[in-house]
Amino acid sequence: MIEKGTWVKVEKVLLKPEERTAKIPPETKKVPYVIHVCGFLKEKANIGDEATIISKVGREHTGKLIESEPSFKHNFGDFVQELVDIGCEVRKELEQLNE
């Protein structure tokens, strides 16, 4: 059970597949349009429950509770050796220009 006031993330369906515009690719139209919103849990709930949160700007959102105390998980992709090599080469060229 996640306590009231905990920072959480909910998933909310904004548009069902049949409600989406015909002007998008068919593979996109097959799936619902969903958003993930973070905020403070209004009442105790479990992961998977429908829950209401209050966002930082004070708006209420109701959706499926998917994560407690979420963090950012983005990155800049896998390591690419060529980028390191190019960076070293450019640095050398810049040093030569500054001599």
Q: What is the pLDDT of residue 95?
A: 93
Distances, alpha carbon 89 to alpha carbons 44, 58, 79, 81, 85, in Å:
56, 50, 18, 12, 6
Q: Average per-residue pLDDT in the chain?
A: 96
pLDDT tens digits for 42-63? 999 999 999 999 999 999 999 9
Q: What is the pTM of this model?
A: 0.74
